Each structure stands twice: as C-alpha cells, then as structure tokens.
Structure 1
Amino acid sequence: MRSSMTLFSTRTLPLISAALFAFSFSASAQATVVDLGVANGYSAFIFGNIGSSGSSGFTSVGGSIAAGGNIYLDNYNVGTNKKPGSAVNSMVAGGNLNTGWGTLSGSAVYGVSNPNATLTAPQWFPTNNISKGNASTLDFAGAKQQLTTLSGDVAKLQSNGTVISQYGNMTLVGNVNADVNIFNIDASNLHNLTLDLSSLKSTASIIINGTATNITMSGGFDNFASFANRTLFNFANATTTSLQNVGINGSILAPNAAFSGSGDMNGTLIANSVSSINYGHVAMNGSGFNTVNVSAVPEPGTYAMLLAGLGVLAFMRRRTPARAPQAAMA
C-alpha cells in the first residue's frame, strides 16, 4: 500500500499539478484582439456593392470608402474631411466605378478585383485622379475573412455590463473598473440607448453585441460622443441593418448585413452591401475603432476542474502517512 501511495505522490501528483497549472494558465491567458485591420482607414468598408444603378449608396462621406463590388454615387461628396490614418485612396472599387454629379477629394481606384471593370463618369468629370488598380491595391477577400471571424469571436465575449430596459429605452450600466465594457442586447430594435457615464471610466472602450438577425437603430444614442472611436456595435448574426434618422457615434461591424437607412455615423461601417431605400442616405463622418485586447474570463467549468484538482491534491496530502523516524545505526 505504501509503495503505491509513494508512487502516486512522487509521479502522479506532480503530473496532475503541472496539468492543472497549464490548463489554468491557458484558460486565463488567451485574449481577443479587437482590431478592424485595414477597414480602420475607411469610413465605410463594404464587401459587396455600394449603391446600385440609378441609386446612390452615399451622398456625404468625410473619409474614404471601399467596396469589393461596384460603387454607384450621385450628388455626392467623398474624402472632404479625411482624418489622420485614413486610407490613401478616397474611393476603392473592386469592380465598376459609376459616378454622377459630385465631388471627389483625393484619388480613386477601380477594378481591384475585376480586370474587366469599367469607369462611368460625366464628360466634364476630372478623371486624372482615377486609375485602374489590381489585387495588390486591396485584398477584399482576406479582409472579409478576417473581419467575419473577428465578428464571431467578439460575439462570444462574456458581458460585464448591464442593460436596463424601461419604457422603450435602454440604459447601459458598465463596470467602473473595466477597461472594456461589453453589453449583449437581443432586441431587434436598438432604440434610445443611453450610456450611464457614472459607471464607466472616461477612457473605457464599449462593445455592444446585438444578437438579432434584423437590426434597426433609432431614437437617440446619448452620451456616446466622447467614446466614438472606442465604441463598436457588433452584429454578427445580422442580415439587415438600418438606421432610422439617427446619429451614431461608434463603428458598426455587420459583415453579413445589407445596410441602409438615413442619419449619420461617426465611425467605420463594415457591412456586406449598402443600398438606398426611399432615397434615404447615411452621412459618414468618421473612421476607425481603437484596437483593444479583451482578456478571456475562464468558464465555470474551468473553475470546477481547477477546484476538483486542488481538492485531490489536498486530500492525498492528508492521506499520506508520516514517515517513521529511522533507528540510529549502532
């Protein structure tokens, strides 16, 4: 019996201890890096088309825009207020570039993904700053894969904030000690969201995970202005996302969504496509979301396994008999 206990103590227990330590370290050390990558340089980064024939996707864009498909613009201004860190080209189209009346400040590139793409513009429109690109200009396929994966990873983050719904309004109460505050909202209508500033660090980042498949943003979004470049609305499941005469301070990550509506955004929009419905347009006035690292929180099962392992160690330590003193040699 003693030999088996000795074997357990000298060989098995150290292995259990090492395994538990490694397991606990890996569970707590992993972190999600929330980084919009190349899209951070754009006011709108779209995987498909911006607008459609006869319907302008945007009318006012302060920064740069990029679309993996075609871009259709009319009565527009693009690149008029580019911020530091904005993409070099004010417009990048993977396919065709169709421009009507408007103003382009800066350069434009089309045909990045389609060598047969065409440029359509009025005869008077200056085209000396528009050129045909190639795949080296911008990797839309790689960006789509990275951003879609990111959206799914962010959706899995554990919330540490509280959403209080009352009378059709939502108040977001954070954790005053947290650098990143995460809120989960399962409603399809994000209406009248208010940040409780007393529960947030002034330097905190805000992540709002909307889990619905069709999301509408309406009403007022109060107290977000000072958090604009640190707020991310992540809609991983959304197939449609629309704004209804609302101003949004923050970025939207909706890689599978068709985006439409009216209002304005101070941040980066990432979506599958952009269209104009009933002549509604969203003015894009900003770009960028500050990259943050979100430390993983071990799942309850992780804690249970750690406690169980520590219990075994403590139990075996108590059961190990004390070694009798050896007789002195004559």
Structure 2
Amino acid sequence: MSLILRGLSYLITPALLLLSCNSQAAPINLGVAQNYSGFFFADVSAASDIEGRLAIGGNLTNGFDIGYRNPVNSQLPSLVVGGDINIQHGTIYNGPQQQLDTNAGIGPASAYWLEQNQVNYGTVYYGGNVTAHSWSNGNYLYQPDYIDFNAAYHYLSALSDTLINEQTNGQAEYKWSQWFLTGDGVSDLLVFDLGDINNISNLVFSNIKQGATIVINSHASDITLAGYHGNNTAISDDIQGQYRDRILFNFSQATQLQLNTFVNGSILAPNAAVTGTGHIEGTLIGQSLSASANGSMLEIGYEPFSGNLPGNQTAASVTSPSSFALFTLGLLLPLWRTRRSKTAEPLQR
C-alpha cells in the first residue's frame, strides 16, 4: 500500500498541474527546479557561466561564475551540489548589492554590477567533499538533504511524460528550412508537436494569444538546437523573445542534447546529457552538463520560467476528473512494478 501511495505522489502532482484536452490550462510548475537556471541530476563538468542559481545531483568538477543575476537580497543558496565539489576557478555570487532588476538586460555585458564588483557572494550547499580555491568567496555549508534529487527526477520525468502526451492544439509545419508554429489565437496553453525531428532551428510563431504558455514537444533521442530562436536582446520584437519566460521545450525521450545557438525559453530534458556552444535564456533541466567535443561551453542565462496563466485558475477547477483518473491508472501500475523490483532506482537513464 505504501508503494502505491508513493507512486501516486510522483504522478498526481504533475497531472494536477496540467489541463486535459481543451483550451483552458492550469499552470505548469517545474517543482523544486523552478528556482534554478540550471538543474541537473548527475555531474556538471563545464559551463561558460551560470547567471542564476545552479543545482547538481552529482559532482561539480569544474568552476565558473555562478549567480550574479540572482534577485537582490535572495536568501536561497546560489549553488547546491549533492556530491563532491572540485573547483579551481570561478566565483559564487548572489546578485548585486544595489536595488535593481537583474533581468532587465541579457548577457554578461549588461551586468554592470559584476564589472564594477558591486556583487554579493553566495552560499553553497553540498553533500560530499569540497576542494575549492580561497577566492571563490562562497559560504560553504554541509547540507546533504537540501534537495531530494531522486524525488525531483521522478516528479520532472512524470511532468515531461505528461506534456509529451498532451493533445496538440497548435499547428507545426516545416518548410523553407523553417518551423512555422501557428496557434489557435485563444488557448492559454499551446502545445506543438515536432515529431521525431532532431534538428530544431528557425522557429516562426503566429496567432499566439497574449500571455499564453507554449510547449514544444520533440520525440527525438538526439536533439540539436541551432539557427534562429529569437532575438538576444531584452526588448525583442519577435514572439520567441517576448515569450521567453513562457516557452518550454519538452524533450522527454532525449538522451543527448546540444545547444549551439542563442535560445529563448526553458528546456525540460531530464534524461539528456547536455553540451553546447551557445546561450539559453531560461531554465535548463537535464541529466548532466559538459563541454562540447571542441571544448566549447554553454552559458545559462537568467530567465525564470513563468508558466502561470491569466486569471485565477487552479488545478482543481480546470482539470477533468475523468482524464486525470485515466492518466493516474495508466501510469501507476508500471511505476509500482518498477519500484517493487528494485529498492533504489539510479538517476542515469
């Protein structure tokens, strides 16, 4: 009985945060990952820098700047590492010293408080051993249970699986080397399905309701984001730039993910080993993060995923009871069997 209840806890919450097959929708909640720019379940070995907070379930084996765009006076740790920390360069920050909007600009060039050394230093929570240079300026605290990464993995995997099966209400058409994504103009949650295409580039949006949340699903196992994904400016005249806090790329089946361009939007890819040479303005959720084959490293910007929809809708008021029951029954038995067959399920898939 306890296994069944535990399985329900992993599945019910993501299901309640989505709507069934109609134009209304409840907020998409990334759970504990909501407060992080980067959230990874295994090791992180390389990044150009992380502008917001970073959470790592495994080990951090290389250093880089973290947290300089955190909100002013944030009380949360800038870095959480479930395993060991071994860094020889980079600094752990916690936003600027003065009151300002850290998300008014994009990229390190406009973070003048960093260039003028008007930044606070951040707190690091860790669960293993620490080897760090003296000038990292972070406050290191042993907090091995601050994040339950196994529970987070189950939650986010269930959310990703739910989204990949969500009924599409937007039209996706590939022509002239572009993806034309056309909404219905009325839905608060727009879902596009790109099939198993593994090279995603040059998205062109149209007929999107103001304030809508956009989910872009791909079923491919090896995905590359390249080409044009919106302007790299704070004030953008394209939809992907304007909706960067409401776009969620969902790659539930991806085991490899390369980001080789400037990307506006968040990415949910809980099983993917991530590499790249570009920059993402949003939350990036993956299995691991490392350098590309040529040594290039990805930069993760600061753009918290919103996912909240207009009005005062709640999950209880908008979720179809019948569709929720079918979803729960359909997914509960396989999960119960999996958990019954082994006491500890590994993070790596």
TM range, smaller chain: 0.7 to 0.9
1:145 aligns with 2:128: no
Aligned to 2:221: 213
Could you say if the C-alpha distance between residues 284 and 87 of structure 1 is closer, same or farther in structure 2, counting changes exceeding 3 Å?
Answer: farther
Contact 1:42 1:65 in 2 (8 A): yes
Q: Secondary structure at the match of 2:157?
A: helix
Contact 1:252 1:267 in 2 (8 A): yes
Q: Which whole-Å CA distance do the structure 1 matches of 2:75 and 2:291 have between them? A: 24
1:269 aligns with 2:278: no
Could you say if the C-alpha distance between residues 141 and 201 of structure 1 is closer, same or farther in structure 2, counting changes exceeding 3 Å?
Answer: same
Q: Which whole-Å CA distance do the structure 2 matches of 1:88 and 1:46 have between them? A: 17
Aligned to 1:174: 183
Q: Which whole-Å CA distance do the structure 2 matches of 1:29 and 1:167 have between them? A: 30
Residue 73 of structure 1 deviates from its aligned partner by 2.5
CA RMSD of aligned residues (A): 2.7
Residue 72 of structure 1 deviates from its aligned partner by 2.2
Aligned to 2:59: 70
Amino acid of the residue matched to residue 168 of structure 2?
A: S
Amino acid of the residue matched to residue 266 of structure 2?
A: S
Aligned to 2:114: none
Contact 1:212 1:237 in 2 (8 A): yes
Residue 253 of structure 1 deviates from its aligned partner by 0.2
1:61 aligns with 2:70: no
Q: Which whole-Å CA distance do the structure 2 matches of 1:160 and 1:182 have between them? A: 6
TM alignment of 1:137-286, pairs within 5 A: 137-186=146-195, 187-196=197-206, 199-222=207-230, 223=238, 224-244=240-260, 246-277=261-292, 278-286=294-302
Aligned to 1:131: 141
Deviation track 1:249-272 (CA, whole Å, cap 9, x = no partner) reads 111000111111111111101101
Q: Which whole-Å CA distance do the structure 1 matches of 2:190 and 2:247 have between them? A: 10
Could you say if the C-alpha distance between residues 27 and 119 of structure 1 is closer, same or farther in structure 2, counting changes exceeding 3 Å?
Answer: closer
Runs of 4+ deviating beyond 4 Å: 26-33, 84-87, 292-299
| TM-score normalised to structure 1 length | 0.72
* Count of matched residue positions in the alignment of Structure 1 and Structure 2: 259
More strand by share: 1
Contact 2:21 2:167 in 1 (8 A): no
Could you say if the C-alpha distance between residues 85 and 145 of structure 1 is closer, same or farther in structure 2, counting changes exceeding 3 Å?
Answer: farther
TM alignment of 1:111-130, pairs within 5 A: 111=127, 117-122=128-133, 124-126=134-136, 129-130=139-140
Amino acid of the residue matched to residue 66 of structure 1?
A: A
| Higher gyration radius (CA) | 1
| TM-score normalised to structure 2 length | 0.69
Amino acid of the residue matched to residue 139 of structure 2?
A: N
Residue 33 of structure 1 deviates from its aligned partner by 5.3
Residue 206 of structure 1 deviates from its aligned partner by 0.5
Identity of aligned residues (%): 33
Amino acid of the residue matched to residue 130 of structure 2?
A: L
Could you say if the C-alpha distance between residues 298 and 133 of structure 1 is closer, same or farther in structure 2, counting changes exceeding 3 Å?
Answer: closer
Q: Secondary structure at the match of 1:288?
A: coil
Aligned to 1:89: 77
Q: Secondary structure at the match of 2:33?
A: helix
Contact 2:160 2:251 in 1 (8 A): yes
Q: Secondary structure at the match of 1:158?
A: coil
Contact 2:249 2:268 in 1 (8 A): yes
Q: Which whole-Å CA distance do the structure 1 matches of 2:268 and 2:56 have between them? A: 15
